Each structure stands twice: as C-alpha cells, then as structure tokens.
Amino acid sequence: MSVERDILAKNDREANANRREFSRLGIFALNLVSSPGSGKTTLLVETIGRLGGELPITVIEGDQQTSNDAERIRATGAKAVQVNTGKGCHLDAHMVGHALERLAPAADSVVMIENVGNLVCPSAFDLGEAHKVVVLSVTEGEDKPLKYPDMFAAADLMILNKCDLLPHLAFDAALVEANARRVNPAIEILRLSATTGEGMDAWLAWIRGGAVEARRRRAAAAPRAQGCACAEAAAKA
C-alpha cells in the first residue's frame, strides 16, 4: 500500500503541474476514458471536424501499441501525439506532461486526452484535466457503471455513444443512466451517435462552455499575476 501511495502522490504532483500549465494558457483539457471499442476515436474525429475551425484542438492518444489512432486524428489536420504505454494499462501525468511539451498547444485551445481503453486503472490517475469523460457504447452492458464504479464516480460526464443502434439492440438506456447515477448522482449524461451526428450538438455546446470558462479564468488571473510581478519588482528595488 505504501508503494501505491507513493506512486499516486508522485502522479498527483505532476498532474498539478499539468493543471497549472493548462490554467496559465487557458486550455480546456479533457480526459476521455472507456472500454476498448466504445467509439472514442471516432467521437474525437467527428468533434474535430465540427469544432476544429472554431477552436484549436490538439490530441494526446494513449494506447499500449501502434500509432493508428494518432494517424486518424492527424488526418483531420489536428496535431496529435501518440503515447504507447507498452504493458501499462493507463496514461499517467508524467506521460501527459512530456506529450504536452511535444504538442505545444496554443493558448485558449482544447486538449483532448484519449486514454488507454480500460475502465479500471485510469480512474485513479489524475492527468491535470478539467474533467474525466467516460464514454460507454450501447453495445456494452447496462451494468458497466456498477461493475466499474470508480471510473463512473471519477467522471463528470458520461457519453452514451452509438445510440443510432438502439432500435436494433436489447439495451435499456434508461437503466444504464440510472446505474450511473447510483454511483455518481452528480454525473451529467449525454446520448449521441458519433457516426450519424445525433446528439452531437449538445456535446459540442458542452465543450464550448468549458473552453469559454477556461479562457475567462486565464483572463481573470492575468491582472493578478501582473500585480504580483510589479510588487516583486518594487520590493527588489
């Protein structure tokens, strides 16, 4: 247990450094988590296609092997860095910090972190993001939030993806939403289909709202930072 605490404490320090950098630049950072096959990469591709001309978006792609997902993102014209974790089952804050150095995201932009497909380990690792967004597809089970409660408790938003398939499946969308709220009563939920575009407007509006808030906080912090610098210069004089 002491080793686990040390690992998480080190990760939290590096996550806080990432968070400070996001805050300094007015960046809205999201950590997308899910099981494999939920449609995270397709969701990112479609999001960039709809928002890329309005908001600069850069992507950190996490996978155990291959650069396939990063190549799909780059094909949209967005900058992406692939992070391969090898036998690791999640991204950590140190990996994300190095990826940010390579990406050099613009101020007042959006950074999307697509975590390794896994509903267990990523729940414990803060990356410095503003929100964890858990993506669940309707081809999975309604009991996923109950089986993997730590992830759904850590997430601020659940996206129920592939909703265009609902007429063809014996899947109870209301039940999975109820199960998610049993674990996390405050969780927001959006139903959408990244392939058909159904429900995407609400997701895009959610991103826009977060980006506006990140810019607002950056602008509000600038006078305070300038005042501190002037006071320090006066003290030295």
The CATH code of the domain that includes 31 is 3.40.50.300
With a cut of 50, list the residues of the chain below it in pLDDT. Answer: none
Among candidate residues 8, 5, 69, the one with its CA nearest the CA of residue 34: 69
pLDDT, position 225 = 55
pLDDT, position 108 = 96
User: Residue with structure tokens 């005042």?
Assistant: 227
The rounded distance, in Å, linking the Cα atoms of 89 and 44 is 21
pLDDT, position 168 = 97
pLDDT, position 150 = 97
- The pTM of the whole model exceeds 0.75: yes
Domain range spanning residue 52?
Answer: 2-236
Lookup: tokens for 191: 């139903």
> How many domains are contained in the chain?
1
pLDDT, position 237 = 54
**What are the strands, taking DSSP E only, across the chain?**
28-34, 57-63, 79-84, 110-114, 131-137, 157-161, 188-191
Lookup: tokens for 62: 């996490």
Q: 87: how many CB neighbours lie within 10 A of its CB? A: 6
pLDDT, position 86 = 85
The contacts of residue 106 (CB under 8 Å, 6+ apart) are 25, 56, 58
pLDDT, position 101 = 96
**Cβ atoms 180, 159 nearer than 8 A:** no
pLDDT, position 232 = 58
pLDDT, position 111 = 98
